[in-house]
Each structure stands twice: as C-alpha cells, then as structure tokens.
Amino acid sequence: MLMADNDKSSAQPKPADRRTFLKIGAGVVAGAAIATVVEVPYYNSVVGGNNNSSSSTVASLQNQLSSTQDQLSSTQDQLNSTAAQLSSAQGQVSSLNNQLSSTQAQLTSANSQLSGVSSQLTSVNSQLTATQQALTSANGQITSLNGQVTSLNSAVSSANATASAVQAALDSTTAFQTLGINEATLIQAIAATIIPTDSNGPGATEAGVVYFIDGQLNGKYGASGHMYMQGPFVGHDLTTPITPVEQARPYTAANGQVYTIGGGTFSAGTMKTVPDNGMRYQYNFNLRTFWRVGLLAFENYCNTAYGGNFETLSGANQIKALQDLANNVPTQKSFSDIVPADFFYEIFFMVYSGFTMDPMYGGNKGMVGWLLTGNNGLNMGNFYGEGYTTKQIMVMPNPPILKPVSLGQFQKGSP
C-alpha cells in the first residue's frame, strides 16, 4: 500500500477516477441506504488516510447522507401523513359514494314517479282536450239553440199578438144572452176565485166560464127544461112532516126487485146539499130565476158582512164569502128564501163544468181546462200522429197525457 502510495505517478488514481469512484460510492450509499460508519475507514484505507481531500469529501458525503436520511425521514413522515390523509379521503370518498348510490336510487325512484306523473298528465291532457272539444261542440249547440229560442220567442210574440187580435175581435162580437152586466161581472169574479189564473196555468177567466154559464142559463138549463118542476117542494127549513098525495103502491123493476112507490112521510131536515153528492134542487122557480135571486142575495151579503161588492173585496175575503155560502152562514130568510149552500153548490158545479166541458158549449176556450187537468178530450191516441191505439193506451200502467181534441176537431178529422 505504501508503494502504491509512493508511486503517485503509476498507482494514485486520477482526480477524474476518484470522482467517479466517489460518485459510484455515493450512489451505492444513497441507493442502498447504507449508512454505517464502520465502512468509512475502509474507504479511507482505499483512497488514502492522509489525503485531506478524500476525508473532506467523505465527510461531505456523510453530511449529505445524513441530510438525505433526514429528508427521507421527513419525506416518510410526510408520506405517512399523506397516507393518513389519503385513507381519510378514501373514507370520505367511500361515504360520498354511498351517498351518491343512495342519491342515485332516490333519483331513479323520482324518475320513475316522474314518468308515472308524466303518463297521468298525458292522459289528463287527452281528457282535457276531449272535454274542450265537447265543450266547444256544446257551446255551438247552445248558440244554435239560443238562435232557435230567439226565433221561437219571435214566433210566440207574433202568435200572442195574433191571438190577442182574434180575442179582441171575438169579444167585440160576443155578447151575453141572458146575464146583465152586473151579474156577468159578479160571476166572472166568483169563477176566477174558484179557478184562479196562477203559475199552474190559465184559469176560469181565460176559459170563458162566464160565457158558458150565460149560454146555459139562456137554454134548457136556465128554463129547468129537463127537470120535474111539480110539487111537493121539500124546503130545507121545513119542520113538519110531509105526506105525499100519492098512495103507496108496489112497483116491480126489470130485475124483479119489488119497490114501494108513494106513501110514507118525509122531513126536509134530513136534506143537505154539498158539491159532491148530487143536486137537490127543491124550488118552485126555474134555474134562471134561482141564479138571478141568488146573485143579488150574495152581493147584498158581501156588502153587509165584508163592506163591499164581491168583485171589490180582497182575495182572502172573497174566499171567506164563498166559504160562508158553503157553510150556510147567511140565513135562508136573508138569502131570499134560497138555501146558501144550494146556491154555492150550483155556482161550484157550473164553474167546474164551464172549465172542463167541450169548447162547443162556450167555455174551456183553447181547451185550457183540458190542458191543465190532463184530459185528452176525443183524442184516442193518434189524432196528432202520436202512434198509439186505444187498446194500447187502455192497458198501459202509465198512459201518456195526450194533447186534447175537441168535438169540432174530431168531426172535421183535423186540428
């Protein structure tokens, strides 16, 4: 070794070679992380212990190695910290992934619900479109119907004007044949009270009931032409028994039943007249006189009991006055010897007849009475082309209400 050291020209490494060696050693030391100090003497013996430059280099390398180790340690600490941070970040990422999965599941459910809602909305829109189309169609029909209604209203107005003109012409040519003006006015008011014009339809006034009664009083009815007008007349105020002049005798009817005719005694106290049990006319004057006397007596009673003629009273007092007649409130003596109930019955019966009998008799004009009561007159089921037979209507549990037909229409065979 000394020889080699002395032979500087032949054995001493060149500076370049020494640097190369040191670089290799430093690389070995740095790459293999060999940090033991026991190897330094070996290097010193190799490169020469007396070489100050080599010692300085080794010391520098050792310092660098120590610094590198410190840096490695620091780096390792940083790496450990980074690894911890990475682990924490991975945990957060895992938690976020779980939250993302949950959110995606919720989003999938929401999308499914949204799809369902979208389907329902599409269906509703389709229905809305159909409804709007139907509404548009209905509005068109309403517009058309309104036009028809306007047209019909014009036609009705024209018809009413025509009817008014016809009625005016009729009234100008129609006159009372028997009744006086005061009598006709009173009968008109009585009839309108019994069958008023109201929301149900026309009443006795429109039906011309007063003309019906006037015509009947002018004919056989007023003359009691079909009535037995001989005595005895059993008055209602009679208190003594009546013995018929005719002696009792047997009478055999067609069915073989034997009856006794004549004989016996009767009392007027058993006779009571009411509107639904038939006529019990027991007067020795005809019905025209009966009405004339009864109307005057009734007017006098209204003035005495209610302070005015019947036609001037309030509706409530008019009803009360007629109820007084039905209940025999006026005395027979004050009523010109006519039983008030008899007179009420006759008024009631004739007003009802004038409202519901065929128009040929002067009342029931326009068949308003039949239209109100549902009476079809002589319409047997097909007069206006309804398509029914009489037999069909007879067996129907709920037969239809047919438009009425008067005798005059029936005889002409057309409305």
| CA-closest candidate to residue 185, choices 165, 166, 213, 163 | 213
Identify the domain boundary among 118, 134, 150: 134
**In-domain check, residue 358:** yes
Residues 94 and 204 in one domain: no
Pair (366, 219) in one structural domain: yes
- pLDDT > 60? residue 267: no
Rg of the chain's alpha carbons, rounded to an integer?
Answer: 66
Residues 47, 105, single domain; the answer is yes
- Residue 337: C-alpha distances to residues 235, 250, 325 (Å): 9, 36, 14
Residue spans of alpha helices (H) in 174-264: 181-194, 204-207, 209-218
In a domain, 260, yes or no: no
Domain that holds residue 43: 2-134
* Mean model confidence pLDDT for the chain: 78
pLDDT, average across residues 222-245: 70
SS3 174: coil
Say whether both 104 and 190 belong to one domain.
Answer: no
> Parallel, antiparallel, or unpaired for β 249-252 and 258-261?
antiparallel
Judge if 100 and 229 occupy the same domain.
no
DSSP 177: S
Alpha-carbon distance of 343 to 282, in angstroms, equals 12
Helix axis angle, 181-194 relative to 340-356, nearest 10°? 80
Judged against a pLDDT cut of 50, whether residue 29 lies above it is answered with no
Statement to judge: residues 292 and 228 lie in one domain = yes
Q: Are residues 280 and 220 in the same domain?
A: yes
Tokens of 394: 């007879």
**Residue 6 forms part of a structural domain:** yes
How confident is the model at residue 25, as a pLDDT?
47
Max avg pLDDT among 39-43, 109-113, 186-190, 220-224: 186-190
Which residue among 134, 155, 171 closes a domain? 134
What pTM was computed for the model?
A: 0.54
Q: Would you call 180 exposed, middle or buried from its count of C-beta atoms within 10 A (0-12, 13-18, 19+)?
A: exposed
Structural domain total, the chain: 2
Q: Do 354 and 285 lie in a common domain?
A: yes
Same domain (yes/no): 128, 210:
no
CB-neighbour burial class of residue 362 (10 A; exposed 0-12, middle 13-18, buried 19+): buried
Count of residues in the chain? 415
- The reply to whether 69 falls in a domain is yes
Average of pLDDT values for 239-267? 68
Count CA atoms closer than 13 A to 183's CA, side-chain side: 20
Name the burial class of residue 198, with classes exposed (0-12), middle (13-18) and buried (19+) by CB atoms within 10 angstroms of its CB: exposed
Establish if 414 belongs to a structural domain. no
Q: Is residue 253 part of a domain?
A: no
Between 103 and 392, the more confident residue is 392
191: β partners: none
Res. 12: pLDDT tops 80: no
Same domain, 184 and 292: yes
Q: How far apart are CA 154 and CA 192, in angstroms?
A: 30
Q: Is residue 147 part of a domain?
A: no
Q: Do residues 286 and 358 both lie within one domain?
A: yes
Residue 369 forms part of a structural domain: yes
Residues 95 and 204 grouped into a single domain:
no
Q: How far is 320 from 181, CA to CA, in rounded Å?
A: 24
Predicted pLDDT of residue 125 = 83
Which span out of 2-6, 46-50, 163-167 was modeled with the highest average pLDDT? 163-167
**Predicted local confidence at residue 253, as pLDDT:** 75
- Average of pLDDT values for 200-221? 95
